[in-house]
């Protein structure tokens, strides 16, 4: 029995090239499904990691009581001075979170870009921030540094360029990276200069680096017990989680819904192709059975062939997606933050495995039904070609 | 008991809710070494009878005994094994696998044996030599004429050295010249290689090549030639 399976499968596979036409329809069909599936999942995964990457346990965000985001928050200079003296605070940056309109690189239409005024402590609070081109801004001057993704997504953010923000011109003096986090989609400027330019007198939020994650409780206690401070303390991971929860959920469920619908459609398309591929061989299979081959080896060998074609298709689709999409940067509106978030498609090994699994499942079931029906209808019926 | 013996064989097909009575209480016995031509109008049940003898179909009632085996009592995998050892099939449309060379097509039945690759090749070449096509061993069916394809199919039918050949209109798709070659070949296989042959044909000239002729009409055998029909 095993020998029969082996011999028929070998014969089948050796002759795959002679059935190039129908085989390639199966391969391309499954490849298309896996390609799209991988692309969608890579998008969801890239988006997720852009939103939550770099969140750290020893960092906290301080917002006005009752505010849910930085935009709608405000913390006075006096409060900042008080907080600076509290226990557990290792570094602190008062920040002014604003949104400016800058033309997009590809279309030239204006879109929202986060302009963040940061205190001198910002780089101590976020040690992952690294100047990759030019230099940092100098305190008090109308200079900005642009996140690497902002610089590729928006026009006029090259080092040396001048950008009009509100009433004054600002010079781009450098580009920074921040370990792939959402900060890379922002531009940063000096906090006092920003207050001045945007005619504000208080920070929107505070970023604090703690001595250690354990200081979180201590700081929260100290702030809550001081009646002069109307401020809430949120850890960075939970802040990011909160900022992106809805969007992330939307993208994820959308991605999976599309993937599942496509996979079901594809399953039927693949079933259909497989059915045609196998039923054109019904008479061949009946002839083999008349000669004395048993049904099981025939089913198994058709299955092996189907699964191998599916694996080829899956690999082709995944490779195609990888080549086209991996690292491909796109931007989308983050409705929670009223700003553009740029992220990379992330074609990870897990996603490729998932795509391959789908391919094998499609190949398996696509091959199983026609193989069984071809191997178990009465030989005489099959030979009559009806 | 005769080499091939059918007793009170009935074969019905269910067609929807209707029952088609194809063979009715049929009796037949053939001796080893016979060459029988089975004739009759279309739909009279010739192929059905041939398929029962070849073990790819089972009777609704009655006994089919071929070469000492009672086919009705065998499971489908036992039947498959029995066919691979005892029966060679020749079909009207050759039924060669289009993507295999003539030699590989002929080797197919040997995949069920314990022969190794070079033995299989050797036996396939011997069979092809018997049908005078050893020079076309590397050709695929599409590169051969109808008559040549049928000769490859005959080589495939004899390569495992079965005692019986069942041929369903083997010349039905061939011109007169090619048909003559096939029939001459079958005669040689019957006379020199001692194959028992049952051949369905519509063509009286083809039937002439057989030792005996039987007519089937509406599922009943009508005697002609010298074959004794059991009653
Ligand atoms: N699998 C089947 N299911 C239903 N009816 C069948 C089946 N096989 C044969 N029949 C019917 O049985 C009858 C005899 O068929 P069979 O093929 O044996 O005839 P035949 O004598 O070989 O005819 P032909 O000369 O046209 O080949 C026909 O009416 C046919 O429709
Ligand atoms: Mg017939």
Encoding tokens for residue B186? 């079958």
Distance CA(B130)–CA(B163), nearest Å, equals 16
CA of A378 to the centre of ligand 1 (A): 14
CB contact under 8 A, A292 and B89: no
Hey, whose CA ends up nearest to atom 16 of ligand 1? B45
Pull the structure tokens for residue A73: 């928050």
| Domain-embedded: residue B219 | yes
Residue B46 is part of which domain span? 4-97+162-226
User: How many domains does chain B fold into?
Assistant: 1
Residue A338 confidence (pLDDT):
44
Task: Name the packing angle between helices A349-376 and A282-291 (round to 10°).
Answer: 60
Distance from CA of A309 to the nearest CA of B (A): 18
* pLDDT, mean of residues A159-187: 90
Report the relative pairing of strands A59-64 and A89-103 from DSSP bridges.
unpaired
Put simply, whether B97 touches A (Cβ < 8 Å) is: yes
Question: Which residue in B has a C-alpha nearest to residue A293's C-alpha?
Answer: B80
- Which has more pLDDT, A268 or B115? B115
Q: Which 3 state secondary structure label does DSSP give B45?
A: coil
Is B46's C-beta closer than 6 angstroms to any atom of ligand 1? Answer: yes
Kindly report the protein residue whose alpha carbon is nearest to atom 13 of ligand 1: B43
- B204 lies in a domain? yes
Mutate to test the interface with B, among A283, A292, A297 (most CBs of B within 10 A): A292
Reply yes or no on whether the pLDDT at A217 is more than 70: yes
Q: Write the CA distances from A328 to A37, A171, A204, A331, integer angstroms.
A: 16, 28, 33, 10
* pLDDT at position B228: 42
> Residue B157 to residues A31, A361, B34, B127: CA-CA distances in angstroms?
41, 39, 17, 9
Helix (H, G, I), strand (E, B) or coil at A95: strand
Strand B164-168 with B196-200, pairing: parallel
CA A26 to CA B98: how far, in whole Å? 20
Contact in structure between A349 and A252 (CB atoms under 8 Å): no
Kindly give the number of the ligand 1 atom that is closest to the alpha carbon of A378: 1
Q: Which among A8, A292, A380 is the nearest to B83, CB-wise?
A: A292
pLDDT confidence of residue B230: 43
DSSP string, A218-240: HHHHHHHH-TT--EEEEEHHHHH
Q: Region A44-73: what's the mean pLDDT?
A: 80
A290, A293, A294: best to mutate for the B interface, most B CBs within 10 A: A290
* pLDDT (0 to 100) of residue B227: 42
Query: Which atom of ligand 1 approaches the CA of A381 most closely?
Result: 1
Q: Is B27 part of any domain?
A: yes
Question: In this structure, is residue B16 part of a structural domain?
Answer: yes
| Cα–Cα dist B207/A191, whole Å | 107
User: Does the beta-carbon distance from B76 to A295 stay under 8 Å?
Assistant: yes
A286 pLDDT exceeds 60? yes
Residue of chain A minimizing CA distance to B50? A380
In a domain, B215, yes or no: yes
Mean pLDDT of A365-375: 83
pTM score of the predicted model:
0.70
Regarding the beta carbon of B201 and ligand 1, being less than 6 Å apart is answered no
Q: Where are the alpha helices (DSSP H) in chain A?
A: 2-14, 20-52, 77-84, 122-125, 148-153, 191-197, 215-225, 236-279, 282-291, 295-325, 349-376, 379-383
- Which residues does chain B have with pLDDT short of 50? 226-231
* Mean pLDDT, chain A, whole residue set: 85
Model confidence band, residue A336 (pLDDT cutoffs 50, 70, 90):
very low
Ligand 1 and B219: CB distance under 6 A = no
Of A288, A294, A383, the CB nearest to B77: A294
Mutate to test the pocket of ligand 1, among B9, B41, B48 (most ligand atoms within 8 A of CB): B48
**Residue B99, ligand 1, Cβ within 6 A:** no
In a domain, B194, yes or no: yes
What is the model's pLDDT at position B148?
97
Q: Which of residues 182-201 of B touch A (CB under 8 A)?
A: none
Interface predicted TM-score of the whole assembly (ipTM), two decimals: 0.92
CB A103, CB A156: distance < 8 Å: yes
B130 lines ligand 1 (CB under 6 A): no
Q: Which residues in B lie closer than 8 A to residue A4 (C-beta atoms)?
A: 111-112
Q: Separation of B42 CA from ligand 2 center, angstroms?
A: 7
CB atoms within 10 A of CB A262: 18
Strand-pair partners of B223: B214
pLDDT for A339: 52
> Does residue B63 sit within a domain?
yes
**A287 interaction partners in chain B (CB closer than 8 Å):** 89, 91, 95, 97
Instruction: Give the residue, by CA position, lying nearest to ligand 1 atom 6.
Output: B13
Give the position, in ligand 1's atom list, of the atom nearest the Cα of A380. Answer: 1
What is each CA distance from B62 to B29, B51, B67, B182, B209, in whole angstroms? 14, 15, 17, 34, 30
pLDDT digits (tens, 9 = 90+) for A218-251: 899 899 999 889 999 998 888 877 776 776 677 6
We report the CATH number of the domain holding residue B81 as: 3.40.50.300
| B48 CA: nearest ligand 1 atom | 18
- Residue A386: its pLDDT value, please? 64
Whether B76 contacts chain A with CB within 8 A: yes
Identify how many contiguous H helices and E strands chain B contains and give both numbers. Answer: 7, 10
**Which atom of ligand 1 is least distant from the CA of B40?**
21
Closest ligand to C-alpha of residue B215 is 1
Whether residues B108 and A18 touch (CB distance < 8 A) is answered with no
Looking at the complex, does the CB of residue A12 fall below 8 Å from at least one CB of chain B? no
Q: Are the C-beta atoms of A279 and A46 separated by less than 8 Å?
A: no
| Among A333, A95, A64, CA closest to A198 | A95
* B41 located within any domain: yes
Nearest CA to ligand 1 atom 17: B47
> How many angstroms away from the CA of B119 is the closest CA of chain A?
15
Q: A348, A43 in Cβ contact below 8 A? A: no
A380 reaches B (C-beta below 8 A): yes
**For residue A321, how far is the Cα from the chain centroid?**
14
User: Ligand 1: which residue has its CA nearest to atom 26?
Assistant: B42
B62 CA distance to ligand 1 middle (Å): 19
Which chain A residue's Cα is nearest to B82? A292
From chain B, pick out residues whose CB is under 8 angstroms from the CB of A290: 54, 56, 83, 89
Task: Go through B203-228 and write b for each residue having 16 or more CB atoms within 10 A of its CB, e for each that does not.
Answer: beebbebbbbbbbbeebebeeeeebe
Q: Report the pLDDT averaged over residues A153-164.
A: 92
Chain B closest CA to A24's CA: distance in Å?
16
């Amino acid at each position: 029995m095993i020998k029969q399976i082996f011999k028929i499968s070998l014969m089948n596979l050796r002759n795959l090239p002679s059935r190039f036409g129908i085989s390639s329809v199966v391969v391309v069909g499954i490849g298309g499904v896996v390609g799209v599936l991988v692309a969608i999942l890579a998008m969801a995964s890239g988006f997720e990691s852009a939103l939550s990457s770099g969140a750290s346990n020893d960092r906290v965000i301080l917002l006005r009581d009752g505010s849910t985001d930085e935009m709608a928050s405000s913390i006075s200079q006096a409060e900042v001075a008080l907080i600076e003296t509290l226990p557990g605070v290792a570094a602190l940056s008062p920040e002014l979170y604003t949104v400016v309109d800058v033309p997009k690189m590809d279309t030239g239409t204006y879109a929202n870009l986060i302009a963040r005024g940061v205190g001198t402590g910002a780089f101590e609070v976020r040690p992952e921030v690294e100047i990759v081109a030019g230099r940092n801004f100098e305190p008090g001057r109308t200079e900005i540094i642009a996140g690497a993704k902002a610089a590729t997504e928006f026009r006029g953010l090259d080092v040396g360029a001048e950008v009009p923000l509100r009433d004054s011109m600002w010079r781009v003096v450098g580009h920074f990276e921040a370990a792939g986090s959402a900060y890379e989609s922002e531009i940063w400027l000096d906090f006092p200069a920003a207050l001045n330019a945007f005619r504000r007198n208080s920070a929107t939020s505070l970023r604090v680096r703690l001595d250690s994650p354990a200081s979180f409780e201590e700081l929260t206690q100290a702030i809550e017990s001081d009646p002069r401070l109307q401020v809430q303390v949120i850890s960075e991971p939970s802040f990011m989680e909160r900022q992106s929860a809805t969007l992330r959920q939307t993208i994820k469920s959308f991605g999976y819904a599309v993937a599942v619908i496509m996979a079901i459609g594809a399953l039927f398309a693949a079933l259909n192709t497989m059915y045609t591929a196998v039923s054109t061989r019904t008479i061949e299979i009946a002839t083999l059975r008349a000669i004395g081959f048993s049904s099981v080896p025939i089913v198994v060998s058709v299955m092996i062939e189907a699964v191998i074609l599916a694996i080829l298709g899956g690999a082709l689709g995944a490779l195609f997606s990888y080549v086209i999409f991996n690292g491909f940067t796109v931007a989308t509106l983050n409705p929670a933050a009223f700003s553009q978030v740029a992220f990379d498609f992330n074609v990870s090994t897990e996603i490729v495995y998932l795509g391959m699994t789908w391919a094998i499942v499609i190949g398996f079931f696509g091959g199983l039904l026609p193989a069984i029906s071809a191997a178990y209808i009465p030989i005489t019926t099959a030979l009559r070609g009806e | 008991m005769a080499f091939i013996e059918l007793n009170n064989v009935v074969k019905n097909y269910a067609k929807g809710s209707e029952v088609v009575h194809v063979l009715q209480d049929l009796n037949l016995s053939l001796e080893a070494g016979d060459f029988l031509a089975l004739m009759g109008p279309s739909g009279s049940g010739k192929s059905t009878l041939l398929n029962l003898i070849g073990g790819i179909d089972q009777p609704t009632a009655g006994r089919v005994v071929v070469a000492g085996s009672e086919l009705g009592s065998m499971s489908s995998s036992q039947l498959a094994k029995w066919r691979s050892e005892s029966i060679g099939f020749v079909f009207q449309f050759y039924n060669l696998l289009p993507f295999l060379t003539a030699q590989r097509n002929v080797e197919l039945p040997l995949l069920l044996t314990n022969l190794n690759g070079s033995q299989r090749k050797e036996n396939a070449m011997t069979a092809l030599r018997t049908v005078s096509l050893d020079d076309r061993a590397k050709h695929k069916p599409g590169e051969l004429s109808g008559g040549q394809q049928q000769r490859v199919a005959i080589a495939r039918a004899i390569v495992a050295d079965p005692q019986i050949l069942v041929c369903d209109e083997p010349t039905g798709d061939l011109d007169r010249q090619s048909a003559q070659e096939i029939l001459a070949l079958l005669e040689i296989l019957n006379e020199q290689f001692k194959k028992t042959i049952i051949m369905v044909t519509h063509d009286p000239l083809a039937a002439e090549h057989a030792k005996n002729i039987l007519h089937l009409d509406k599922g009943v055998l009508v005697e002609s030639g010298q074959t004794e029909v059991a009653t």
